[in-house]
Structure 1
Amino acid sequence: MTALRQRKGSKGSKEPGPEVLNQRFYPSAEPLERTSDGVWTWRTVLWVAIGWTVGISLGMLSCIYVATLHENDLWFSNIKEVEREISFRTECGLYYSYYKQMLRAPSIQQGLSELINDNATESKRTINLLRRMNIYQEVFLGVLYRILPIQAYLEPVYFYIYTVFSLQAVYVIALFITSWLLSGSWLAGALTGVWYILNRVDTTRVEFTISLRENWSLPFFALQIAAITCYLRPHLKPIQQKVVLWLMFLATLCFCLTWQFNQFILLVQALIIFTLDCLDLISTEQVTCLYLVQVSSLLSVWLLQFCNSMILGSLALSFIVAALFVKHFQRGLKTGGLTARLGKLLLHTVLVLALTFTINYLAKQALQLRSDEHIFKFIKSKFGLGPTRDFDASLYLCEEAFGLLPLDTFDRLAGTLLAYPYLVTLIVLLVMLALLTLANLCDSSAVGRPPKGRFEERPICMRADVAYNLLHTVFFGLLALSTMR
């Protein structure tokens, strides 16, 4: 009788549970081998340990490699202190001077006071450097060098450059983790790390522009991408999601705090999230959490930079506010047939963009903000959106670094066997994404989650983390093609 009741019960339950549904619609990488109690086997532990060892080794190799290139190029250990400081090119020397200022101050409090009330950087003006520039990293290193017992055997300049080179190790390890998460195997991460090192000419210039803000911030940006990739993976428990969100926030905060162009990178990232949301590739909860992480990071930097008005007047913040506002009030966006959904998406996009520019215009008028006008004039002049006689925009256009990506870049990438397999994989994934997007738009029952029976009708599926990284590649790839720097 018990067996009969079980058969009857199984016959009546035609709908799979939510865990099975989620697993079948969002195919994940091959799960790690575990026992019946959910404990990893010794082979799995050994395999993961080898993976972490390889990832850390590649990071250390990258760090040692760029440090060796820097030493061989300048004979850094054999020149005088003043010559070492002269080797910091362009604005790199300016940033390094603030690090020296923190070290030479009688106390940490006095050093901070001098930076907050600086009258040496701009002629006849006293400015707050912590508000005007992204130099918290120099402040942090200056404080750290003063309190650590390393003055006897490590000179300040070496502590500075070794920290920057160490961040390259963090960069490679973050790329390694992202590839591991996407593929399910650390072998893909190893391939990513090796290709990054082999294509050093096109991936970094840290060995001769040590103090540039990008060399501080991009490793944290890579960590943020790894955290987003982990967050978008299926089958994460609530506690795991919270931990990953906090890691994502910290990485985004460090990224924004160390680079003045953070708002433009976050704007592109917000556009990626917006696209994923419109195409029904990630859930509403994930979209909201990703937006809130960006907003909270920007507002935290705004506070740390003494209420820097440029952050409140950034397009990224205006876009996120507009996207959340329109999304909250525009109901039924993901319902209806193909034509209806395309019309709703078009209206949704127009409303978000219109509200974005309205909020941004009002914010800049209220804050009397004109600090970033030269950037928009440069974009306007570069893409021929209108005539401009702005001197800064014309000066940027004369600089080769702000031109199109040189074609010989692809020859170098092909020489390391990267370009062709990468392009083939990219094209295949884009075709899959296009087919999946069309299926989502044609499905009138899609409301932010896979409905019953939907996965059974689709031969093509794509995980949310893969879709994010694919669009990330496309968006930032187009940005790189348009402007080499």
Structure 2
Amino acid sequence: MAEVRCRRAVLPVERQDGEEDLESKDNPHNSGDPVSHDDVDATDVGGVEGTQESVKKREEKDQGETKPVEEKTGEKEDETDKQMPSPVKTSTRSSRSVMLQRLVKLFFGCLAAVTCGMMYAVYLSTYHERKFWFSSRQELEREITFQGGSGLYYYYYKHMLTAPSFERGVYELTRDNRTVSGQTINVVERLSLYPELVTSLLYRVTGSQEVIEPVYFYIGMVFGLQALYVTALFVSSWVMSGTWVAGMLAVAWYVINRPDTTKVDYAIPLRDNWALPYFSCQVAALTGFLSNNINSATEMFCYLLMSATTFTFVLVWEHSHYVLFVQGLALFLLDSFDLVQPRKIADIHKVYLSSVFLAYVLQFQNPRLLSSPLLSLLVASVLARYFQPVSCVHFLSRTQAPMAAVFAGSPQLLGTVKLCSGWTVTSLPLFSDIHLLRSSEDTHQVYALRSAEDIYKILTSHKTNYVIVEESLCNELSHTKGCRIKDLLDISNGHVVYDKGEMYSFSKHGRFCHEIKLNYSPYTNYFTRVFWNRSYHIYKVNSVISFQY
């Protein structure tokens, strides 16, 4: 019975892999030695107990092996989490990648522009040498190659080099009695000889007498300016198109049509060969200055470059003011259609005026500059800007608005409105009254990133009938970000956040003062334009909203 019970106790135990080996070592039945029944009974009982112990040990061993696996898995997950980049790092890397791409594009574009200019200068030098066999000729024969009367300019260049000193040479040219019979003239003023003066001075100062002949130094200066001409043309096309491939196409077009665009092949000393490269640089700087997507530092650089090149262009060439007149007329047309910011047009006019004034002084009070069409255009533009506020006030004084009409606008402008028309206004230029300050902040919301409905509710809360939008505030640009009225409004309204020089917008609406000028719904549903010029836009706040699409 004991044997039966022991065997029954053994039967429920299921064997697992590896138990057979253990039992073969511990259980004597597995050996070939004979055993007695008593030994069998004892062995069976001991086998049951040993089997159970081996099972427990196996389970503990498996659990012990499982825990390190789980710990390793957890460690791998932690390492994977650590390796996963955060959104902030991803955005930083993407911004760095974009910045790197821009720098690479800028580098190769500038390299292509400079390369085109240098290759063009080498081409001109080689072409000039092969056309005239310049190096194998005598000095007199070389000078004869300056055709079209251009040799006269080179004569004064030689005169400056043979003078005892630079100052003495300038004095003799300003009181020249050897050129025109019976007359003493100022050839510097008559012929615009500043290129020859500067070139002769550089030849003296740099000590080039022992390195290069005067004629090669002279034509080298002209060919160098032609290289600058082509480089500036490349940059202008690049800025306007956004790709430097367009710059290469523009340079190719210029080189192909060179006989129709320049006389540098046979009349090197002519004034236009000295002046047009500066004009090309002025156009490139003007193009960059008129761009809307440039920062303040780039804008200032373009403005300074435009000022310097405009002045040099006027000083070097007597016909330059006619070219600038055409340019100024084109800018006037762009300004008339509100395609250019009025502030930038005013800055360009300042460049014109200062350049003409300085050239007038350095050209010994040249009367031709005072009668130039450019100066007439500038005087007309200044008068037009002066009469723009006058026309606005004149409209307000003769408008058929009811006596109880209320006008909204900037406090400074409303003071003038009150003075000239007597209408009721929403605010005054007083900064000690908290209620007027809050009213001014509300009316200035027309320059914020607000919807037409929001502005309509704000203005009607002040019982406004007419609102005046000023271009100087709507398109205000400043070298310091965050200090303009529209910047302060955006920050106060929580629509814009500045972080490390970057601006992030959180408004789904465009700037109201920009959007309302486009005359589309829903702005036309709430407001009706009754007057506008380049400086002011006056809108009537509709008492009855008409939903037109």
**TM-score class, shorter:** 0.5 to 0.7
Distance in 2 (alpha carbons) for counterparts of 1:88 and 1:34: 60
- Answer whether contact 1:35 1:41 (CA < 8 A) is retained: no
Q: CA deviation at 1:306?
A: 1.2
8 A Cα contact 1:34 1:41, kept in partner = no
RMSD: 2.7
In structure 1, C-alpha distance between the alignment counterparts of 2:146 and 2:359, rounded to whole Å: 27
Q: Residues 137, 334 of structure 1: CA spacing in aligned structure 2 closer, same or farther, 3 A cutoff? A: farther
For the structure 1 residues 303 and 451, does the alpha-carbon distance in structure 2 shift closer, same or farther, using more than 3 Å as the test? same
Equivalent of residue 179 in structure 1, options 224, 237, 262:
237
Displacement after TM superposition at 1:123 (Å): 1.3
CA distance change for structure 1 residues 307 and 38 in 2, over 3 Å: closer, same or farther?
farther
Does residue 135 of structure 1 match 2:188?
no
User: Are 2:126 and 1:68 equivalent residues in the alignment?
Assistant: yes
- Determine the structure 2 residue equivalent to 1:276: 334
C-alpha deviation, 1:453, in angstroms: 4.7
Find the residue that maps to 1:452 and give its secondary structure.
Answer: helix
Q: CA deviation at 1:445?
A: 7.8
Tell me which residue corresponds to 1:248.
Answer: 306
Q: 1:326 aligns with which of 375, 384, 407?
A: 384
Compared CA separation, residues 454 and 315, structure 1 to 2 (3 A): closer
Single out whichever of 294-303 and 63-72 deviates more from structure 2: 63-72
Q: Deviations over 1:191-243 (max 9, x none)?
A: 11122122222222211110111111111101001111000111333343222
Normalized per residue, the structure richer in strand is 2
Counterpart Cα distance in 2 of 1:47 and 1:239? 20
Amino acid in structure 2 at the alignment position of 1:96: Y
The aligned counterpart of 2:515 is: 452
1:307 corresponds in structure 2 to 365
Q: 1:163 to 1:309 in 2, by over 3 A?
A: same
- The unaligned stretches of length 5 or more in structure 1 are 1-32, 336-443, 459-485
User: What is aligned with 2:206?
Assistant: 148
Report which of the two structures shows the higher radius of gyration computed on alpha carbons. Answer: 2
1:78 corresponds to which letter in structure 2?
A: S
Deviation at 1:328, TM superposition (A): 1.3
Counterpart selection for 2:217 from 137, 151, 159: 159
2:154 aligns with 96
Against the structure 1 CA distance between its residues 242 and 47, is the aligned structure 2 distance closer, same or farther, given a 3 Å change threshold?
closer
Could you tell me which residue of structure 2 aligns to residue 56 of structure 1? Answer: 114
Q: Distance in 2 between matches of 1:34 and 1:70?
A: 54
Distance in 2 (alpha carbons) for counterparts of 1:159 and 1:35: 51
1:189 maps onto 2:247 in alignment:
yes
**Alignment CA distance shift 1:61-1:154 (3 Å):** same
Show the counterpart of 2:283.
Answer: 225
| Map of 2:259 onto structure 1 | 201
Q: Call closer, same or farther: CA 1:133–1:72 in 2, change over 3 Å.
A: same
Alignment-mate amino acid for residue 213 of structure 1? R
Q: Report the Cα distance in structure 2 between the residues aligned to 1:181 and 1:300, rounded to whole angstroms.
A: 30
State the match for 1:45 in structure 2: 103
Shift of 1:84: 0.7
Which amino acid in 2 is paired with 1:192? A
Alignment map for 1:350-369 (pairs within 5 Å)? none
Give the alignment's TM-score, normalised by structure 2: 0.55
Q: Deviations over 1:320-369 (max 9, x none)?
A: 1122112211348799xxxxxxxxxxxxxxxxxxxxxxxxxxxxxxxxxx
Q: Distance in 2 between matches of 1:103 and 1:319?
A: 41
Which amino acid counterpart does residue 87 of structure 1 have in structure 2?
Answer: T
Unaligned runs of 5+ in 2: 1-90, 394-467, 476-512, 522-549
Contact conserved, 1:280 with 1:334, CA < 8 A, in 2? Answer: no
- 2:368 partner letter: M
Q: Deviations over 1:266-292 (max 9, x none)?
A: 111111111111121112111111111
Deviation of residue 139 (structure 1)?
A: 0.3
- Hey, what's the Cα distance between the residues in 1 that align with 2:200 and 2:264? 20
Partner Cα distance (2:385, 2:106) in 1: 41
The AA in structure 1 aligned to 2:220 is Y
Q: 1: CA distance between counterparts of 2:137 and 2:213? A: 13
1:84 alignment counterpart? 142
CA separation in 2, counterparts of 1:110 and 1:35? Answer: 63
Percent of residue pairs bearing the same amino acid type? 38
1:406 paired residue number: none
Amino acid at match of 1:287: I
Q: How many residues align?
A: 320
> Structure 2: how far apart are the matches of 1:196 and 1:324?
36
Deviation at 1:73, TM superposition (A): 1.1
User: Could you tell me how far apart the structure 2 residues matched to 1:126 and 1:187 are?
Assistant: 53
